[in-house]
């Protein structure tokens, strides 16, 4: 898991069972984030979720800093994950039965290393769409399954490797807390956060890595000649990183925060672009504390609202059609600043 979460619960009359089951879940699971924008505080109200769709069986739900509204959980469903991020300041009141499916665990005891071999998994069943997948132990895995898991976790106790021999798309979070994940020139996409833990390594090769949540690097990231593309509307990059290609574009309102006092080095192509009507907002996680950027080669920065960015490369950065919100260093803005 990416974080340790505390669920705040108020139980006036009901006994709530919150437990883990090894269940198969259905395909088409979604990751839904609480907005609290509905007419009440009920989880069953579609207007309380971004996208105006309430959770269903096998979905993953997130409570984060995008909303501080309280939630009364009134749905009797099984979820693939239930995450309360540290930035959420509201209260979740569990007022119905809530089951969280913990998915399947890699054992590697099947006589080969293929993920498609059911004997390599706990319970003797290979993962399906919507499952939460855990890797533990020392056995290596060749990932050959064409599925979209709800989340994938390589735990801190995992010392083996997972090598992709096909593309992998994850509906929720990808956590590499231990072991080595080798993208092996295949596409890797996660609709949630991507975490590289202190004992984890992500070997990107020449892959396209798409992340719609936060990028959190506490371990080892070997960029190879890969492209990291951030696609969410409100994201944060944590840790010191060396990317080969780094792309963040926005056609609607979007904010990219970068951890204060950390350095983002881009070896080949850096692209940070919004549009004339929707500037890409670039901010430090701590106001008035710089975040550092070192673009070694090509830079494409335009239609951005920039603050606290310090370019440490000897060649200055030009931000076209962009707005200078202050405390920027070695960054030039053209005379047609967007306001």
* 2 occurs within a structural domain: no
Per-chain mean pLDDT for the chain = 89
Please check whether residue 1 lies inside any domain of the structure.
Answer: no
Q: Say how far apart CA 231 and CA 249 lie, in whole Å.
A: 7
Q: Is the dihedral of CA 153, 158, 159, 161 positive or negative?
A: negative
Same domain? For 157 and 220 the reply is: yes
Instruction: Give the global pTM.
Output: 0.73
Instruction: Clarify whether residues 87 and 171 are in a common domain.
Output: no
Is 199 part of any domain? yes
pLDDT for residue 309 is more than 80: yes
Q: Could you read off the pLDDT of 178-202 as tens digits, one per residue?
A: 999 999 999 999 999 999 999 999 9
Instruction: Report residue 322 CA to chain centroid gap.
Output: 27
Query: 165 and 42 in one domain?
Result: no
Domain endpoint, select from 68, 101, 134: 101
Query: Phi then psi for 308, rounded to 5 degrees?
Result: 65, 20
154 and 63 within one domain: no
Query: 271 with 231: CB under 8 angstroms?
Result: no
Is residue 147 domain-resident? yes
Q: What is the C-alpha to C-alpha distance for residues 262 and 145, in angstroms, rounded to an integer?
A: 36
Give per-residue burial for 78-110: e unless 16+ CB within 10 Å, then b: bbbbbbbbeebebbbbbbebbbbbbbbbbbbeb
CA geometry: angle at 217 spanning 213 and 219, to 5°?
Answer: 145
Clarify whether residues 62 and 147 are in a common domain: no
Q: Is residue 247 part of a domain?
A: yes
**Cβ partners under 8 Å of residue 227, min gap 6:** 207, 208, 209, 244, 245, 246, 247, 269
Structural domain of residue 153, as residue ranges?
Answer: 116-333
Mean pLDDT is lowest, of 59-68, 177-186, 270-279, 312-321, for 59-68
Backbone phi and psi for residue 107, each to the nearest 5 degrees, phi listed first? -115, -30
Over 90: is that where the pLDDT of 3 sits? no
Distance CA 313, CA 301 (A): 15
Tell me which residue of 237, 236, 246, 180 sits closest to 208, measured CA to CA: 246
55 and 162 both lie in a single domain: no
pLDDT attached to residue 86: 82
Residues 246, 319, single domain; the answer is yes
The answer on 141 and 51 residing in a single domain is: no
- What is the tally of structural domains in the chain? 2
Indicate if 122 and 216 belong to the same structural domain: yes
Of 72, 101, 130, the residue at which a domain comes to its end is: 101
What CA–CA distance (Å, rounded) separates 28 from 16? 27
Mean pLDDT for 170-180 is 97
Residue-wise pLDDT tens digits, 126-135: 999 989 999 9
Domain endpoint, select from 101, 124, 145: 101
Task: Assess whether pLDDT exceeds 80 at residue 14.
Answer: no
Same domain, 240 and 270: yes
| Closest-CA residue to 214 (of 174, 162, 179) | 174
In-domain check, residue 106: no
pLDDT mean over 116-142: 93
Please indicate, yes or no, whether residues 96 and 122 belong to a single structural domain of this protein. Answer: no
Do residue 208 and residue 247 come from a single domain? yes
């Amino acid at each position: 898991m990416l974080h340790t979460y505390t669920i705040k619960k108020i139980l006036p009359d009901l006994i709530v069972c919150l437990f883990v089951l090894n269940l198969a879940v259905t395909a088409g699971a979604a990751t839904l984030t609480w907005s609290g924008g509905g007419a009440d505080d009920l989880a069953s109200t579609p207007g309380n979720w971004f996208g105006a769709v309430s959770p269903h069986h096998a979905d993953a739900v997130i409570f984060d800093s995008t909303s501080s509204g309280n939630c009364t959980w009134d749905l009797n469903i099984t979820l693939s994950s239930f995450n309360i991020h540290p930035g959420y300041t509201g209260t979740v009141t569990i007022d119905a039965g809530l089951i969280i499916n913990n998915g399947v665990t890699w054992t590697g005891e099947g006589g080969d290393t293929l993920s498609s071999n059911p004997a390599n998994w706990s319970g003797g069943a290979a993962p399906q769409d919507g499952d939460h997948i855990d890797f533990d132990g020392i056995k290596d895995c060749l990932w050959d399954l064409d599925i979209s898991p709800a989340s994938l976790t390589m735990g801190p106790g995992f010392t083996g490797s997972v090598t992709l021999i096909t593309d992998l798309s994850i509906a929720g979070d990808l956590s590499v807390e231990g072991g080595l994940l080798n993208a092996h020139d295949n596409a890797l996409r996660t609709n949630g956060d991507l975490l590289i833990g202190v004992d984890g390594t992500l070997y990107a090769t020449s892959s396209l890595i798409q992340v719609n949540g936060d990028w959190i690097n506490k371990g080892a990231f070997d960029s190879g000649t890969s492209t990291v593309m951030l696609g969410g509307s409100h994201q944060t990059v944590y840790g010191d990183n060396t990317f080969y290609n780094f792309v963040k574009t926005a056609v609607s309102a979007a904010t990219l925060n970068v951890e204060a006092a950390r350095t983002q080095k881009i070896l080949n192509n850096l692209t940070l672009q919004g549009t004339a009507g929707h500037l890409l907002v670039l901010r430090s996680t701590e106001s008035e504390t710089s975040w550092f950027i070192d673009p070694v080669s090509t830079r494409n920065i335009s239609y951005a609202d920039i603050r606290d960015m310090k370019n440490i490369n000897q060649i200055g950065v030009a931000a076209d059609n962009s707005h200078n919100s202050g405390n920027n260093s070695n960054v030039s803005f053209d005379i047609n600043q967007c306001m």
